[in-house]
Structures are given as C-alpha cells and as structure tokens.
C-alpha cells in the first residue's frame, strides 16, 4: 500500500478539501499569535515558516503523517549508521563525519576513530600548504590550489569557499569541473607551474570528467617538470574512497586523503573532500563548520518532531507539493556570497528525491521532488521574480539572509562603512518586501497608491508560500547548520514518500552511453545503430 | 650649541654622540625600549662598531647626558632632533605635544626619522597651533634631515656623509643646521637644500632605487644560471659602464634588516592607501622575499625535493656583516623553510647568536654551535648567508673532514668556484657555479 492510501494521508487530503487548500495567507494572519507560533530559533539560526498556507490543524495532521511513516525511527536509523541506502546496501553517515564523537551510536560510533585519524592527516596537509611549506618542484611555496572534481567533489567546496570568502586566505583556490576542458585551459593560462598544486577529488577515482582534466593538468606540468616523481609528489593530492586507484594513477600514498563509500558524493563536503574549504579557512574553521552541522544533527536527533526544524520544513514542503499542488521551489539567498547555494541545493535535493519508485521498487502514485532552482535574490528580482509574482505556476520560496555582515565594521564611521551598512539594509528590506508581496499580493499595495495599480497587468494574486531563514551572520558555523538543515529536511521528505534518497541511478545510464558515443565519434561505423538525430549530430562534428 | 636628541636607538645615539664630539652640549632622551640607566653605562641597544666607546668618551667629557624626562630635553635644546625608527610615529607625536606644552621660546625641530611624507609640515603646524593656544609668541620651524646611515658603518656614514639633505623653507633654520653639521661637511659642500617634502621623499627614493637595483641584479643572476653564464663576469662588464657603476651590483640571497626594506614597504603602503601606483616597488619587495629562499630552493633541487633528515650548516645569521641583528634576515626564512622540510640546521654567527637565540632557542631541528667549524659536523651542505670576513678564507681541508658531503651553497658569492672545485667541493653560488 502506498502512503497515499494511508489514513494520515487521507486525513490531510480531507483537510485540504475542507478549505485548507484554498485558505488565503492574508486571512490566516488575522491570528495575531501566528508569527510567534510558526517560527523557531536554534542558536544562530531563526526560521519563520508562518508564511505557509498551514494552520495548527495542518501541522497536527502532518505530524500524524510523520508518525505513521515512522519518521522518528528513520532519524535514529540514519544517525546511527543503519543501512538506509538499501539499493547500495550501505549507511549514509554524513552526520557521523561531523559528530566529533558526540552522542553517537552504532556504526556511526565505530567509524569515529577512522574519521579523526583522516582529519588529522588532512590537518597536517592543510597546515603545510597554508604556511607556505608545501613546495613546488622548483622549491617555491604553493600559492594556487586547483580542485579538480565534479558533482559532490566540486559543488560543496565551491559553494562553501565562496560563502566564506571574507575570511582571508593565504591560498588562491580555483575549481575545475566541466569535462570540456575550457575551464582548465582558461585557469591554467593565469597560473605558474612552480606554485600550483592540483587536488584530484573523485569518490570512485574513475570519473572521466575529473580524470580527463587531471591528464591535461599533468601535461601542463610536464611542459616544465622533467622528473615525473617530483611532478606527482609536489603537485598532486588525491581525495577518494579508492586509495588503490589513486596509487595506480600516480598519487603517492602520503598525498592521499581518503573517505568512505558510506559518504554520499553530495554529502562529501564534510569529509576530506572539504580540503579546499580547510585550505581557505584553516582546519579550525573547517571544524567549526562541522560543529555547526553537528548542532543541527543533535537538534534533528533529539528535538520533538513538532519543534524540529528539518522535520517542520520537510513536512511543510510535503504539504505544499502533495496537497497544494505546488511543484517548484526557489532558493533565494540575499547575500551574493551565497551564489552557489542554489546549485548546491539543486544537487542535494533533486539528486536525492528526484525519483518515482519507492523503496520496494514500485512506482509511486504521487508527486515527489519539486523542480528546485534559485539565484541570489536581488539578482533574481530582475529576472524570474516576474514568474513568482504573476506566472501560472505556483512556487514555494526559501528566503535566506544574514542579520549581520562581517565584511565591514557595523559601527564604522567611514563613508564606505556607511554605504555598505546602507546596502545591507537595502538587501534585507528587499528580502522582507518580496516575501510579503508574494504572500499578500494586491493587499500589500498601500491605499494611497491603489489607484495606480488598477489594471489587469498590475494584478498580484499573492498567496505564495515561503520560508525565511535568518542567520546571525555567514560563518563556518551557521553555514554548517544551514546545509545540514537542508540535508535532513530532504531526508524527512524521502521518508514520507518512501523513497531512498541516497542512491542516484538516474545519472548512471548517461555516463555509460557517453562512452559508447565517444567510440562512435572515433569510428562512425559504430553509430549506425543510433537514431537518425544523433547520427546527424555526430556527422556534423567529425 | 645645545642639542636634544629624542630617540636612543642606533640613529639617535650616532647623532647624539657625534654631535657631542664636535663640541655641542647634547642630551639624549629615550622614547622606546632603551633605558636611561643602561645608556648611562654605555650599554648600547645594538652592537655597532665604535659607538659604545664614543658614547662612553663623550659622557666622560660631560658633553653627552641621558635623561628620562622629555621636559628637560625640551628646555635644554636650541635644536630638538627627532631620531626614531619609522614605526615610532606615535611617540614622535607625543614628543611634539610635549614641545608644544613646555617650550618657552623659538623652537627648531629636526626630524631624522623616516615618517610618512608630509610629517615635518604637519608637526610644524601642530606646534604653531599649540603655541597660539598658549598665547606664546615664538617662532616654529621643523626641518627634515633624513639619516642615511647603515648598520655596521653608521658612525662613519654620519661623520663623512655622501650628502646632507636639509628640507626647509626657512633660511634661518637652514643656516643654523648647516652650522651644526659644519664639522661633517668639510671637503666639499655636501648640503642639499630642498623643500621639506622633497627631503622626506629623497630618503624613500634612495632606498627604493637601491632595493630595485638589488632585486634586478638578483633576477639577472638567477636567469644567468639558466644559460650557464657566470654572473660575476657579467658584473664586471656592467659595473665598468660609467652610467651604472659598481655599487650595489652584487647578487645574493636578498636584503633584510630592520629599516631598509621596511622603508620601501612603508612607501608602498602609503602609495597604495591613496590609490597611487606602486607596481614596480611591490614586485621588488616580493622578488626579494622570494630571493631570501634562493639557497633553500637550490638545496631542494640538489637533494631531489627530499631534505628530511639532512643536516645543513648555516654560516651567518645577521642580515649583513658587522651587525648583530637578524630581523628580516634571509637566514630566518631559510632556516624556517629547511626545518619545515624536516632538515636539521646547525647555525653559527660571530655576533648575531644572542639575537637569533631569542626566537630560536629550543626550536626542534635547530642547533646553535660555538664555532664555524662545529656547524659543519656531519653536514650534508653548508649555506653561506652573511659575508662576515671570517668566512672568506676557511680551512678547506678542515671543512671537508667535518662535512658528510662537501657541498657549498654560497648566498653572497664570496668563494672562487674553481678553487673550491679543486678542493673537491660542489659549489652553488647565486648566478655562478653549478646550476641545479
């Protein structure tokens, strides 16, 4: 029996039909205690979920659904390291990576020593590079580090190092991911072999995207380095679950950092894959990020479901998707440092829950993961907000903003500090204004200017649900909390939908067919079986 | 003349004692770490040839006194000299405040310190304002007279200067300072009079040009190696060009010390903070930082990137000969780099061991030894970092008998590569010798 036939689901359907689905946010806010009741704070994070089309009754029924789906038990299974990834027969222990030995049990406890010892090795490497004592072939200190990785081996470090860019780093970081090599040739133009170090980050160490870029990097180094041992020992570090494969490629053992197959690629930023983050903010900073995530893990594992931030956010998304028929979600950070956060969440959420088959292998009869996308809010206001305000497609939005900024002196007297303070206020004002207009629509228009909006083209339907997350500031800790929140929220949804969020079979076939297609590019006879469209495309490029 | 010198570091002590020797009544007033009790016993903050003796003599003569209380200095001096390290600007401001409070008649201040351009003008305005507030009718003049002394030859640089730069628009003041400096201006007239700002800028410009010259020579030398060219031969060819001359043409492992590089750095910072260009000078400074590790890089390549467990003898720690200072010295960066790679270093310097010991005593991998030959015990190589006279003609046989392998990295190009080769040494200089 699918969850859609369960009593808790049916109760929510009836609740929706009884008026909850057509309720207007504007009216719901006549309840003066709503904002306080539908918001929650955890250390340096504040979540306002009151701008969702929910009532106390809705939440009660959603919590019933969670209970029916044994969410609490699933949370325990996840955190203890039970085999929650059943199609690949392994646990998903990203939370164990950041537990630091705290309140951890089962398999997650067993791996703590391995994790700590690998982090210790990572710390030595980080200190050596950051202090200028990792030398290139000629003896000059490494100044530039290029991370070659794709997917989870790219996005996490890219997103996090951008978010924490105001922390001054002795190392310039660069990221290469795309298979086509244009990033590589562009980045290498501005770098010097003497002072450049490459990180090869690949869970399997077979990813063609990464290995092809690595070969190009190796060729570039070999233009000036005769000794291949020196080339490898001073200019390559490998991060992978496969030490043998790294050795085979040529990464010397002392330059290898490992992680484990129980770390999903999209959750691997917390492992040694986070090396670029540690290079940027130091190992202490990296550990602060882990601690931030651990704060969220502890909360997720111990807070009652009704007071549990990831649970509430996940359940409300389920309500929006399955009972309010909303199938798009926008991630809208109001700080340019978070520009890669939407891409990061795209991978996290859609690679996890973009599935149509439940854990028993049966096709589900309900919608699962929405289309998720986003952009730095103030930029998106000049782009797709048009659709948010007046399109035919309903969209749920997550607004994310820092309360304070650490890149200028909040009490500084200089004109520049004053201007930056003003800009920060503007950003927050825009953030709050947008969520308000999305909620209220026309009702947000002040009476005095109502006349000017008397036109069908200036009509704002409103009633679009949103969450607003305020972080005290953008720091290693709050970023750790934020990302862990979305990880757990995504897990909560998967439990309701009865799908496995930790595999990604959908991306496998394309990789396989690409190999076949590549050989057809070399030998067109092999393309004969292909469809006419692909054949004609192949002809055009050879 | 009655003179008060504020600042009793190297520059202040040289000025005070040299002026005392020529018949002036001089009071020295410390503004920083130097203590009056020590100074009165002629204990110098830095070792400097001849200085301690001269100070002692002038105190015995009664022409040089040291006092704690700045007010005594303000009351005493017809000429008030500010002679401080560049990073002591705040203390100089305090001295100016004291002068503003306690002076009772005309004031002539001479600033020798490398403070930001415009400081002399600003001090003069500050004093005028202070006098006006007190209703004191007195003349105020602040003259810029940058010092051009070098550690190791500071006294002779002061006594027989290449030039005396005086920056002021006040003819009376110039006349008076000319007279004060007359004993040091004998053979030909070395006094260059200019605006105060030009005088201040001249000091920076001199150091900027010298630093640039050194860094350029180093770059030429490093590249000469790639073409198997001996830079020493090229140096002869270069220096004999009248437009170029021979001074500051020696390639080596970089310049250091407390003032030279920091003057250039201060200039770069001043320029950049105002949005002006300092591209070339920035490159000069970063080139020099890189050059400080030139011997490390040679050894790194010579030992095939594996310095772990190697023993390296270090000859010379001070940033140049005849000084006990290791501040910003190339040896510091080099030792740090070696130790970080797991090498052991045995260090020796004839004068700078105490200064070195402050930071390095007990550091893993670092051994301070008693003699230059002790440093060579079991050494895989020796780094010559400072060209102290005692290192020029060592006992090659003794060296070889002590060292594990006879390898010399010469950071000051003081040895003859052919002679060393005959003695069976591998020799690597800067822009000469074998290349790696």
What pLDDT, on a 0 to 100 scale, did the predictor assign at position B435? 83
Sign of the four-CA dihedral A442, A448, A450, A453? negative
3-state secondary structure of A456: helix
CATH for B2-194 (1.10.3720.10, 3.40.50.720, 3.40.640.10, 3.40.50.12780): 3.40.50.720
What does residue B150 show for φ and ψ, rounded to 5 degrees?
-115, 145
- Indicate yes or no: CB of B300 within 8 angstroms of CB of A131: no
3-state secondary structure of B99: helix
What pLDDT, on a 0 to 100 scale, did the predictor assign at position B377? 97
- Indicate yes or no: CB of A133 within 8 angstroms of CB of B341: yes
Confidence of residue B186 (pLDDT cuts 50, 70, 90): confident
- Indicate yes or no: CB of B301 within 8 angstroms of CB of A139: yes
What does residue A501 show for φ and ψ, rounded to 5 degrees?
-85, 0
Which stretches of chain B sit within 8 Å of chain A by CB? 290, 293, 296-301, 304-305, 337, 340-341
- Indicate yes or no: CB of A139 within 8 angstroms of CB of B290: no
Q: A172-176 and A196-201: which strand pairing?
A: unpaired
Q: State the DSSP H helix or E strand holding residue A115, giving kind and residue range, or none if neither.
A: helix A112-130
A–B CB contacts, 8 A cutoff, strictly below: 29
Q: Cα(A156)–Cα(A154) distance, rounded to whole angstroms?
A: 6
Instruction: Enumerate the CATH 3.40.50.720 domain ranges in chain B, comma separated.
Output: 2-194, 293-428
- Count how many residues are written for chain A: 542
Among chain A residues, CA nearest to B339: A133
CATH 3.30.70.580 for the A106-279 domain, yes or no = no
Confidence of residue B433 (pLDDT cuts 50, 70, 90): confident
Distance from CA of B436 to the nearest CA of A (A): 9
Q: How far is CA B165 from CA A194, B89, B211, in A?
A: 45, 21, 20
| Contact residues on chain B for A133, CB-CB shorter than 8 A | 337, 340-341
| Contact residues on chain A for B296, CB-CB shorter than 8 A | 139
Q: In CATH, what is the architecture of A3-68+303-444+459-497?
A: 3-Layer(aba) Sandwich (3.40)
Per DSSP, A339 falls in state T
Residue A254: CB atoms within 10 A of its CB come to 10
3-state secondary structure of B161: coil
Among chain B residues, CA nearest to A194: B297
Give residue-wise pLDDT tens across range A316-338.
999 999 999 999 999 999 999 99
* Any B CB within 8 A of A416 CB: no
Closest CA to A134 of A71, A196, A75: A196
Q: Cα(B303)–Cα(B305) distance, rounded to whole angstroms?
A: 6
% of chain B at pLDDT higher than 70: 100
- Indicate yes or no: CB of A140 within 8 angstroms of CB of B301: no
What does residue A42 show for φ and ψ, rounded to 5 degrees?
-140, 110
| Contact residues on chain A for B304, CB-CB shorter than 8 A | 227, 230
What pLDDT, on a 0 to 100 scale, did the predictor assign at position B187? 82
What is the Cβ-side half-sphere exposure of residue A109, based on CA atoms within 13 angstroms? 7
A131, A140, A233 ranked by CB distance to B305: nearest:
A233
- Indicate yes or no: CB of B304 within 8 angstroms of CB of A230: yes
Contact A146, A217 (CB under 8 A): yes
What pLDDT, on a 0 to 100 scale, did the predictor assign at position B259? 79
Q: Cα(A146)–Cα(A166) distance, rounded to whole angstroms?
A: 19
Distance from CA of B102 to the nearest CA of A (A): 34
Q: Cα(B250)–Cα(B231) distance, rounded to whole angstroms?
A: 9
Output the average pLDDT for chain A.
96
- Indicate yes or no: CB of A140 within 8 angstroms of CB of B297: yes
What pLDDT, on a 0 to 100 scale, did the predictor assign at position A412? 82
Active-site residue, selected from the candidate residues A133, A140, A511, A518 = A511
Give residue-wise pLDDT tens across range B280-332.
999 999 999 999 999 999 999 999 999 999 999 999 999 999 889 999 999 99
Q: Cα(A22)–Cα(A20) distance, rounded to whole angstroms?
A: 5
Active-site residue, selected from the candidate residues A194, A351, A375, A493 = A351
| Contact residues on chain B for A230, CB-CB shorter than 8 A | 304-305
What pLDDT, on a 0 to 100 scale, did the predictor assign at position B44? 87
Q: Is residue A351 annotated as a catalytic residue, yes or no?
A: yes
Contact A464, A397 (CB under 8 A): yes
- Indicate yes or no: CB of A234 within 8 angstroms of CB of B305: yes
Most B-contacting residue of A137, A139, A230 (CB-CB within 10 A), to test interface? A139
Q: Cα(A184)–Cα(A176) distance, rounded to whole angstroms?
A: 6
Residue A329: CB atoms within 10 A of its CB come to 25
What pLDDT, on a 0 to 100 scale, did the predictor assign at position A45? 98
Q: Cα(A352)–Cα(A87) distance, rounded to whole angstroms?
A: 13
Distance from CA of A158 to the nearest CA of B (A): 29
| Contact residues on chain B for A233, CB-CB shorter than 8 A | 305
* Segments of chain A scoring below 70 in pLDDT: none
Contact A241, A258 (CB under 8 A): yes
- Indicate yes or no: CB of B305 within 8 angstroms of CB of A138: no
What are the E-state strand segments in B252-391?
A: 311-315, 344-348, 366-368, 381-384
Residue A105: CB atoms within 10 A of its CB come to 14
Distance from CA of B294 to the nearest CA of A (A): 9
What pLDDT, on a 0 to 100 scale, did the predictor assign at position A406? 83
| Contact residues on chain A for B305, CB-CB shorter than 8 A | 135, 137, 139, 230, 233-234
Give residue-wise pLDDT tens across range B360-371.
999 999 999 999
Per DSSP, A321 falls in state I
Q: Is residue A382 annotated as a catalytic residue, yes or no?
A: yes
CATH 2.60.210.10 for the B203-289 domain, yes or no = no
Distance from CA of B298 to the nearest CA of A (A): 8
The predicted model scores a pTM of: 0.89
Q: What does CATH list as the number for B293-428?
A: 3.40.50.720
- Looking at residues B427-436, what average pLDDT do you find? 91
Q: Does the structure's ipTM exceed the value 0.90?
A: no
Closest CA to B10 of B350, B204, B260: B260
């Amino acid at each position: 029996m699918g969850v859609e036939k369960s009593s808790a689901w049916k109760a929510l359907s009836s609740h929706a039909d009884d008026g909850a689905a057509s309720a207007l946010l504007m009216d719901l806010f006549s309840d003066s205690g709503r904002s306080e009741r539908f918001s929650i704070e955890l250390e340096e994070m504040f979540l306002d979920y009151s701008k969702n089309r929910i009532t106390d009754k809705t939440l009660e029924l959603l919590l019933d659904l969670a209970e029916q789906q044994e969410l609490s038990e699933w949370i325990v299974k996840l955190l203890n390291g039970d085999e929650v990834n059943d199609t690949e027969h392994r646990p998903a222990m990203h939370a164990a990576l950041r537990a630091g030995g705290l309140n951890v049990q089962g398999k997650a406890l067993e791996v703590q020593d391995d994790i700590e010892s690998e982090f210790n090795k990572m710390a030595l490497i980080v200190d050596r590079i950051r202090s200028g004592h990792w030398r290139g072939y000629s003896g000059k200190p490494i100044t530039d580090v290029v991370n070659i990785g794709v997917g989870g081996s790219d996005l996490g470090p890219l997103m996090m190092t951008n978010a924490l860019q105001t922390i001054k780093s002795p190392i310039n970081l660069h990221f290469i991911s795309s298979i086509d090599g244009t990033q590589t040739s562009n980045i290498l133009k501005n770098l010097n072999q003497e002072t450049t170090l490459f990180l090869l980050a690949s869970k399997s160490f077979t990813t063609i995207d990464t290995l092809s870029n690595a070969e190009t990097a190796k060729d570039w180094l070999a233009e000036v380095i005769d000794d291949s041992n020196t080339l490898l020992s001073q200019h390559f570090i490998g991060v992978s679950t496969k030490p043998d494969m790294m050795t085979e490629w040529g990464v010397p053992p002392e330059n290898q950092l490992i992680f484990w197959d129980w770390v999903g690629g999209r959750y691997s930023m917390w492992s040694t894959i986070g090396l670029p983050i540690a290079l940027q903010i130091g190992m202490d900073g990296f550990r602060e990020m882990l601690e931030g995530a651990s704060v969220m893990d502890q909360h997720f594992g111990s807070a009652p479901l009704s007071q549990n931030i990831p649970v509430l956010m996940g359940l409300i998304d389920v309500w929006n998707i399955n009972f309010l028929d909303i199938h798009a979600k926008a991630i809208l950070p109001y700080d340019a440092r978070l520009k890669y956060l939407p891409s990061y969440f795209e991978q996290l959420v859609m690679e996890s829950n973009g599935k149509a088959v439940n854990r028993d292998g049966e096709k589900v009869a309900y919608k699962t993961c929405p289309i998720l996308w986003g952009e730095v809010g103030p930029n998106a206001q000049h782009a797709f907000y048009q659709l948010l305000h007046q399109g035919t497609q309903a969209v749920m939005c997550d607004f994310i903003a820092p309360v304070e900024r650490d890149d200028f002196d909040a009490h500084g007297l200089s004109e520049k500090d004053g201007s930056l303070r003003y800009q920060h206020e503007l950003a927050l004002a825009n953030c709050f204004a947008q969520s308000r207009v999305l909620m209220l629509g026309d009702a947000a228009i002040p009476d005095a200017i109502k006349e000017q909006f008397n036109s069908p083209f200036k009509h704002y339907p409103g009633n679009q649900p949103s969450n607003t997350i305020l972080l005290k500031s953008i720091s290693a800790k709050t970023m750790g909390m934020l990302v862990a929140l979305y990880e757990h929220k995504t897990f909560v949804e998967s439990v309701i939908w009865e799908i496995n969020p930790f595999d990604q079979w959908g991306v496998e076939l394309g990789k396989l067919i690409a190999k076949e297609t590549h050989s057809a590019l070399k030998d067109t006879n092999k393309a004969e079986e292909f469809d006419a469209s692909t054949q004609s495309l192949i002809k055009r490029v050879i | 003349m009655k003179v008060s010198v504020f600042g009793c570091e190297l520059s202040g002590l040289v000025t005070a004692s040299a002026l005392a020797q020529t018949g002036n009544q001089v009071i020295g007033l410390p503004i920083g770490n130097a203590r009056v009790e020590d100074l009165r016993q002629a204990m110098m903050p830095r070792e400097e040839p001849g200085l301690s003796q001269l100070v002692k003599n002038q105190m015995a003569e009664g022409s040089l006194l040291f006092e704690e209380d700045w007010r005594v200095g303000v009351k005493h001096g017809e000429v008030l000299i500010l002679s401080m390290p560049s990073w002591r600007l705040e203390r100089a401001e305090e001295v100016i405040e004291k002068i503003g409070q306690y002076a009772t008649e005309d004031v002539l201040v001479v600033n020798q310190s490398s403070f930001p351009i415009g400081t002399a003008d600003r001090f003069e305005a500050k004093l005028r304002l202070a006098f006006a507030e007190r209703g004191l009718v007195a003349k105020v003049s602040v003259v810029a007279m940058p010092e051009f002394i070098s550690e190791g030859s500071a006294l002779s640089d002061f006594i027989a200067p290449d030039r005396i730069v005086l920056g002021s628009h006040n003819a009376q003041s110039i006349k008076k300072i000319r007279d004060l400096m007359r004993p040091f201006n004998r053979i030909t007239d070395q006094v260059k009079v200019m605006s105060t700002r030009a005088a201040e800028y001249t000091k920076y410009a001199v150091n900027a040009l010298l630093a640039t010259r050194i860094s350029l020579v180093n770059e030429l030398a490093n590249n000469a190696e790639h073409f198997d060219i001996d830079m020493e031969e090229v140096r002869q060819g270069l220096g004999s060009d009248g437009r170029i001359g021979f001074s500051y043409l020696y390639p080596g492992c970089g310049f250091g010390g407390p003032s030279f590089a920091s003057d250039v750095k201060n200039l770069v910072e001043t320029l950049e903070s105002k949005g002006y260009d300092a591209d070339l000078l920035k490159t000069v400074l970063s080139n020099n930082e890189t050059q400080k590790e030139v011997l490390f890089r040679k050894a790194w390549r010579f030992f095939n990137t594996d310095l772990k467990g190697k023993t390296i003898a270090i000859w010379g720690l001070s940033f140049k000969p005849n000084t006990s200072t290791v501040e910003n010295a190339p040896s510091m960066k080099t030792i740090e780099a070696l130790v970080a790679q797991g090498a052991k270093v045995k260090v020796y310097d004839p004068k700078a061991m105490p200064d070195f010991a402050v930071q390095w005593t007990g550091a893993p991998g670092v051994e301070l030894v008693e003699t230059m030959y002790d440093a060579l015990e079991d050494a895989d190589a020796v780094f010559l970092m400072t060209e102290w006279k005692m290192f020029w003609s060592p006992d090659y046989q003794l060296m070889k008998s002590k060292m594990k392998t006879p390898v010399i990295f010469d950071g000051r190009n003081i040895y003859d590569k052919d002679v060393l080769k005959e003695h069976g040494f591998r020799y690597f200089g800067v822009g000469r010798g074998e290349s790696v």
